[in-house]
Amino acid sequence: MDIGVLAMTMIKPKKVLLLGSGALKIGEAGEFDYSGSQALKALKEEGINVVLVNPNIATIQTSQELAGKIYFLPVTPYFVQKIIEKEKPDCALLSFGGQTALNCGLNLSGSGVFKKNKITVLGTPVKSIEITEDRQLFAKYLGGIGIKAPRGGFARDVKGALMIANKIGYPVMVRSGFSLGGLGSSVVNNKEDLNLVVSMALKNAPQVAIEEYLRHWKEIEYEIVRDKGGNKIAVCNMENMDPVGIHTGESIVVAPSQTLNNYQYHLLRQISLKVIEHLGIVGECNIQFALDPKSDDYRVIEVNARLSRSSALASKATGYPLAYIACKLSLGYSLRELKNIVTGTSAFFEPALDYIVVKIPRWDLQKFEGANLRIGSEMKSVGEVMAIGRSFPESLQKAVRMLETGQDGLLGMPGEDSLSPGSLRLFAIAQQFLRNSSVESISKETGIDQWFLNQVKEIVDYQKNFGPAYKFNNENFLQAKKLGFSDNLIAASCRMSLNKVRKFRERWNIYPKTKHIDTLAAEYPAKTNYLYMTYHGEESENDSRLRIQDSGFRQTHNCKKVIVLGAGPYRIGSSVEFDWCLVTAVATFRQQGLETIVINCNPETVSTDFDIADKLYFEELTLERIVDIYKVEKNAKLVLAFGGQIPNNLAALFAAEKMAILGTPTKSIDFAEDRHKFSALLDRLSISQPQWEQIKNTGSVKRFAGKVGYPVLIRPSYVLSGSAMNIANSSREVAIYLNKAAKVSSKHPVVISKFIDNAKEIEIDGVAKSGKLLIYAISEHIENAGVHSGDATLVLPPQRLYLETMRQIKLETKKILKVLNIHGPFNIQFLAKDNKVMVIELNLRASRSFPFVSKVTGINFIEIAAKVIVGENITGDFQTVDLDYVGVKAPQFSFNRIKEADPKLKVEMSSTGEVACFGRDLHEAYLKALFSTGWKMPEKSIFLSIGGDKNKLDFLESARKLTTLNLEIFATEGTSKFLKLSGIKNTTVFKLSEGKHPTVLDLIKKAQVDLAINISLIGEDRAKRDGFIIRRNCVDFAIPLMTNLQAAIEFSYAVTEKKLEDLQIKSWDEYLSPKN
Amino acid sequence: MQGKLILSDGATFIGESFGADVSSSGEVVFNTGMVGYPESLTDPSYFGQILVLTYPIIGSYGVPNPKYFESRKIWVRGLIVQNYIDSPSHFASIMSLGEWLKKEGIPALQGIDTRALTTKLRSQGAMLGRLTVIPARFAEASARRAKAGIHSNAGKILNQVQNDKNEIYNPNLENVLQFVSIEKPQTYGTGKKNVVVIDCGAKQNIIRSLLKRKLRVTVAPWNFDPIEEKWNFDGVLISNGPGNPKNSKDTILTIKNLLSQSVPVFGICLGSQLLALAAGGDTYKLKFGHRGQNQPVQNLITKKAIITSQNHGFAVNFTSMPLGWSEWFINLNDGSNEGIRHKKKPFLAVQFHPEASPGPTDAEYLFDEFISMI
């Protein structure tokens, strides 16, 4: 079967439907903002109208500049169909929004919605996508064209699975189709485990594949592009350092491949081309291979007929704009008529790299108590970094620092020695080398090719020699820098001052050299502004970047050039929202005529597209490297406010270096970040706050707790996402949490404060100019204080706040702005209780909620902040309260990926993404937002388990409301009794410990429940296993779960008052500027 | 041990030696392929050249058994890389790259800023250069000084060992085919049809590619004329090879003879240039050549584009070709000619390498196209 289309006809769509990927979640993150944004750019150039569906308000693609019509609505067949009927697009693009968009598109194609509405799917034919998505069809298809796929078979039930496994022998690999990030796939060693894994996988997919487990085979990927005429190229190949069995998103990856010889490299390349030719792919495609380390035998293990995480990485690794090109190809262009923007040559070529790229995933597993730290064939990582250098050690050590996990070098984890796959394995390997383990033995145990291990060993061996007695000369110092050691690490391990190390560099003139990424290894003259730094080089390259136009430049600015710092890897608490801020700020600076330079290291971002800024340094966000760049880029000023937490943490160091900084004074940043200084400042200003004290020792905490009463809140300084922030309910917990807090914030004070029960939480986001409030927006949280603001549901404008409260908030805000002379964006968090407000936190930077408040109010806060920072005179009266609609921002959790973690919310953030939707009222917007994060209307039954008498009473009215849905209600014993006494019919389920049936688990496993509300008391111990097991199983079996009382109440009202049909299908502009 | 590369304009690059302890000279050229150093080093087309690899990590997978080579030995006069990997990892490796280079007496340097060097060659054109390695006795003294904490003055020593006062070798000034070609004819395979390969420095994979297609292959020296020899044959393949095609007058005469008899002829790389000259066309030297595995070419007849492996410093000037010839392929990067084909007769030639090795195999089908004519 050959589905290739040969006719080269241009398609001229009038209106294209583009599906986004929704909230960031594990397995589907910022890379799809990159691909969607590039697609929008490509369409815009053609003058094509675009209707974008994506509820992820923090993305760059959902900005007016890019898409004509934007719907902040769920990417689900129901909503997309409604949008189609309203907008009547004639074409659709499905491959730029990850698995979410693809699944939704396939569904609409299958149900005939596209056909009925005369919609042409652009790019790869749906039929081909279906082949790649159905493992059974796919294996057969490959066999048909003489290409090897793993041996095995497919099962629709456990029995079938066991039979196949018996035939091919354990261990086997279990995979399910239609899965993003390998959800539901794992290596299984025996019958018992197979039983468990298959039954779970079948919850999410109709069938599973049972395949031979290719233990310790290499995993290699190719990114292929093909046009309608059958012209095709391999843009990039990549090699996973970890062998097959560890998801590529979980593996350290290098580009290009390092251990393949010419024959293997081109054999796999040729097979890739053959596969996509037969599939008739039009656009981009990712193909993954297993390659036997002992022969040239191979298997094709996966084909993704869409843009993917790997394609984003490949784009950044090569400078080839894959998503942009893929979109143009889907319109009928041929590769040879498209241009390589960097060199002006044809886009039909294969990039030649003259550097090595190393990607390391970023995990946040330690944020989840009880989470399993082992990694495997399912994704758990939340982000990644990419480092560019001219040797593997140089790139690897750069990447380690880029991770922002506090690691510098490979030897920072002395306790770690487990070689089994896990988030810390790289460091464990280094420890093993320190203890003289051999390359051979580690390779045998891990399956990691000796090539990688040799060089890890080289790093460790070099570092071993460092010590107070180590004598540096120009040669061994340069060698250390070539191996990627930082000044800090050298100083610390040789017990000398950082200053002394810097003196070495100065004396021997050892500085990194700037090199271009030009796609053709210097073969053709290139106009590129895509840069990296390396110690493997004698000279920096001439500045041949695309010069910015001078026309817009305004002499009023006291600065001509800015360096804008990025936010680094996506992680919990720092993701695409900061990228939106950065990209928006950069665009504003450029409009102002400023030469704008970006430093960032995250391949999943739009800010690292090389056409965003005048120059891009794909580099570390460390003091050392920023100083290097600052020196090269003479007369530039640093902008810190749009890069999340990293720049703020470095602010004091920049000041010490006497670097020029724009925005709020660094001293003020210190006042905001240092909990002690901040609380003392509030006291001085007579601004009320929860009672607090700086922690000196455990004794002082106990005295404090004795005075104010438990629970108390432990708060470290200079942290993101409430890292190591905890509510302690007893002196025992105080001891545990203090220890944790000291670990993340050893250089800065830890503060303890009274935890205020039943308080509302409110945030103000705004921009100040020289200490004066310029613009602000107040959002309220649905959840009471105690849930991290990043996990909370935000409502704008506030619906339940007294005017008096808002007035107080504004007053207190103005006081703080003035005393700290704030100049730029800020965010302050308040508690409100009994008509009194208290300040709990101040962030002197653009916060997570800036995209939300900007897009809901229709006023771009970041643009204003950027202008203020460079001295633009801005005045005006900005209306952010009196809106005719409500915006609700809801968190997206990825607990399904974080096995064994408790999905209960806490003061430390655990959500991985967010969505925001609009509505006539709070309930409409809230429902849309929940549906955007994977919720559905309950149709079968509801499970209730409400801990504590007060909670039960508070929930009673909501429970009554829920009865109007006429669904069966199940409840645990106490809740059941209480509801029955209140006249609410329900069925009691037994506790797990009672051994009687039905238990709640029976319901969950038989999929009888489609909504679970499980409210536990604050301070409930994890030892209370029942609650945990219920919550965990809801997550594992994909049942919507509410664990917060206020959210559950709000949801109960919303779901009973609105029907699906009541949710309006309105685009963003229809809300912002209604026609009548 | 240190060494340096001095270009004809005086520019000097200092690095560390990892090959043989000898000095040499030649034309300095760069190749942008990311894999395939064993294939490149044994490609006779590199005769008389010092090869700079732009991929900065070389040696990773060691050196395989010689049966995978493109000829019996290393032809480059020197190798320049950024970082050399001395502990290779590959099942097919039998020794490290350094060991191999030493065995074959080829000098090599690492620690050179190959990107800066490449940029220079690209902007100023391919240049001649001398590769000097400090002899071991000097190097030891230098190492002793370094160990004793005295600044290692290797640079100074290097200047002192300018013992090689000979002219820098330029492979484009003489007929170099005599150095790379087979000495007497040799026949492979048992196929019915016989293809004569005029060996101007042929890569083994050309012969393997023909044998794979069930042909008998007779490899003939560069100055053999199969018509004069009265051989029984069905077609002729003019192979790749080094140097300026205009210096290979005997081969051009042979081809003229073949064309006059309308024998099917397929030229590859140098073979294409020789065919053009024999047909009355002209060739010229490219500024810095095409050497890499990512060269995009388009078939002007079918409009299809493919990625090809290339290694050439001269090219056919298509406008000089007489009537009756069409431009078959062009380079999508710079528009230069990549293939010519006679409109009526079975004469065809490509500037790139359908045999790949190293490089992509997209063009392999051209062997079938040639065979279909014989």
**Active-site residue identified among B39, B200, B269, B338:** B269
- Among chain B residues, the shortest Cα distance to A454 is held by B87
Chain B residues inside the 8 Å CB shell of A233: 296, 307
B156 touching A (Cβ < 8 Å): no
**Interchain proximity A348–B332, CB inside 8 Å:** yes
CB-CB under 8 Å, B119 with A450:
no
What integer pLDDT is reported at residue A550 of this predicted model?
39
The model's confidence at residue A431, banded by pLDDT at 50, 70 and 90, is very high
- For residue A544, pLDDT beyond 60: no
Cβ–Cβ gap A353/B90 under 8 Å = no
Is CATH 3.30.470.20 correct for A760-843+849-880?
Answer: yes
Bond before B64 cis per omega within 30 degrees: no
Task: Write out pLDDT tens, residues A527-542.
Answer: 889 999 999 999 999 6
Contact A1039, A1004 (CB under 8 A): yes
Reported ipTM: 0.94
Pick the residue of B300, B307, B357 with the most A CBs within 10 A to test the interface with A by mutation: B307
All residues at 6 or more sequence positions from A240 whose CB lies less than 8 Å from its CB, including other chains: A218, A219, A220, A221, A246, A248, A251, A252, A253
Q: Spell out the SS3 assignment of A681-748.
A: HHHHCCCCCCCEEECCCHHHHHHHHHHHCCCEEEEECCCCCCCCCEEECCHHHHHHHHHHHHHHCCCC
Domain ranges in chain A with CATH number 3.40.50.20:
15-125
* Annotated catalytic residue within B27, B39, B70, B355: B355
% pLDDT > 70, chain B: 92
Give the pLDDT confidence of A86-145 residue by residue, as tens digits.
999 999 999 999 999 999 999 999 999 999 999 999 999 999 999 998 878 898 999 999
Residue A608: strand, helix, or coil: coil
- Looking at chain A, the whole-number percentage of residues with pLDDT higher than 70 is 96
Residue boundaries of the structural domains of chain B: 2-160, 177-371
Least confident range from A59-73, A724-738, A786-800: namely A724-738
Distance in angstroms (rounded) separating the CA atoms of residues B117 and B4:
12
What are the residues whose beta carbons fall under 8 Å from the beta carbon of A524, sequence distance 6 or more?
A343, A344, A345, A518, B122, B333
The two three-digit tokens of residue B238, written as one number: 């003019």
Q: Which CATH number fits domain A15-125: 3.40.30.10, 3.40.640.10, 3.40.50.20, 3.40.630.30?
A: 3.40.50.20
Q: Where are the beta strands (DSSP E) in A103-151?
A: 120-121
Average pLDDT of the residues of chain A: 92
Q: Percentage helix, strand, coil, to 5, in chain B?
A: 25, 30, 45
A309-323, A718-732, B129-143: range with lowest mean pLDDT: B129-143
**Residues A336, B82: C-beta atoms closer than 8 Å:** no
CATH architecture of B2-160: 3-Layer(bba) Sandwich (3.50)
The fold for domain A691-754 equals Dna Ligase; domain 1 (3.30.1490)
Listing DSSP states for A858-877 in one string gives: T--HHHHHHHHHTT------
Q: What is the DSSP pairing of strand A232-240 with strand A253-255?
A: antiparallel
Query: H-helix or E-strand containing A653?
Result: helix A645-656
Question: What pLDDT does A1075 receive?
Answer: 65
- The reply to whether B289 touches chain A by the CB within 8 Å rule is no
Residues 379-398 of A with CB under 8 A from B: 390-392
At residue A58, the 3 state secondary structure works out as: coil
The tokens describing B216, both together, are: 């008998």
* Chain A residue whose CA is closest to B126: A523
Instruction: For residue range A157-174, list pLDDT tens digits in order.
Output: 999 999 999 999 999 988
- What pLDDT sits at residue A748? 85
For residue A841, give how far its alpha carbon lies from the nearest alpha carbon of chain B (Å). 49
- Correct CATH for B177-371 of 3.30.565.10, 3.30.413.10, 3.40.50.880, 3.40.50.2000: 3.40.50.880
> Residue A957 is inside which H or E element, if any?
helix A949-963
Amino acid identity for residue B32 in this structure: T
Residue A980: other Cβ atoms inside 10 A: 13
Kindly indicate whether the domain formed by A151-213 is annotated with CATH number 1.10.8.50: no
Beta bridge mates, A132: none
Contact state of A525 with B362 under an 8 Å Cβ cutoff: no
A754 touches chain B (CB under 8 A): no
Contact A522 B118 (CB under 8 A): yes
Q: CB of A726 within 8 A of CB of A740?
A: yes
User: Of chain A residues 523-542, which have a CB less than 8 A from chain B?
Assistant: 523-525, 536-539, 541
Q: Residue A558: which pLDDT band, with cuts at 50, 70 and 90?
A: low
Specify the pairing of strand B78-80 against strand B108-110.
parallel
Q: What is residue A407's predicted lDDT score, i.e. its pLDDT?
A: 94
For the whole model, what pTM was predicted? 0.95
Contact A475/B at CB under 8 A: yes
Does any CB of chain A come closer than 8 Å to the CB of residue B358? yes
User: Is A75 in contact with A97 (CB distance < 8 Å)?
Assistant: yes
Q: Which of A158, A160, A136, A84 is nearest to A115 (CA)?
A: A84
What would the pLDDT profile of A926-943 be if each residue is shown by its tens digit?
999 999 999 999 999 999
Cβ contacts (< 8 Å) between B336 and chain A: which residues?
A: none
Locate the DSSP E strands across A894-1033.
913-919, 941-946, 968-972, 987-989, 1011-1015
Residue A642 CA to residue A658 CA, distance in Å, equals 20
Candidates A228, A235, A258, A266: best to mutate against B (most CBs of B within 10 A) is A266
* Contacts A396 to B, Cβ<8 Å: none
Q: How confident is the model at residue A377 (pLDDT cuts 50, 70, 90)?
A: confident
With beta carbons under 8 A apart, name residues in chain A contacting B307. Answer: 233-234, 348-350
Of chain B, the end-to-end C-alpha distance in Å amounts to 55
Look at domain A913-1062 and name its CATH class: alpha beta
Cβ neighbours of B100 (radius 10 Å): 22
Please give the order of strands across the beta sheet that includes A120-121. Answer: A69-71, A49-53, A15-19, A91-93, A120-121
8 Å CB contact between A211 and A151: yes
Chain B interface includes A488 (CB < 8 A): no
- Among residues 294-333 of chain B, which lie with CB inside 8 Å of chain A? 294-296, 298, 303-307, 332-333
Tokens, residue A634: 């003479």
pLDDT at position A583 over 90: yes
The DSSP code for A505 is: H
Beta-carbon separation of A349 and B57 below 8 A: no
Question: What pLDDT digit, counting tens, does each position of A138-155 carry?
Answer: 989 999 999 999 999 889
**Boundaries of CATH 3.30.470.20 in chain A?**
760-843+849-880
CA-based nearest residue in chain B for residue A536 = B113
* Average pLDDT of the segment spanning B119-139: 86
Positions of CATH 3.30.1490.20 in chain A: 151-213, 691-754
Q: Does B90 reach chain A within 8 Å, measured CB to CB?
A: yes
Residue A180 has pLDDT above 60, yes or no: no
CB atoms within 10 A of CB B162: 11
Nearest to B61 among A256, A259, A539 (CB): A259
Q: Which residues contact A1068 (CB under 8 A, 6 or more apart)?
A: A62, A69, A70, A71, A72, A855, A918
CA distance B150 to chain A (A): 10
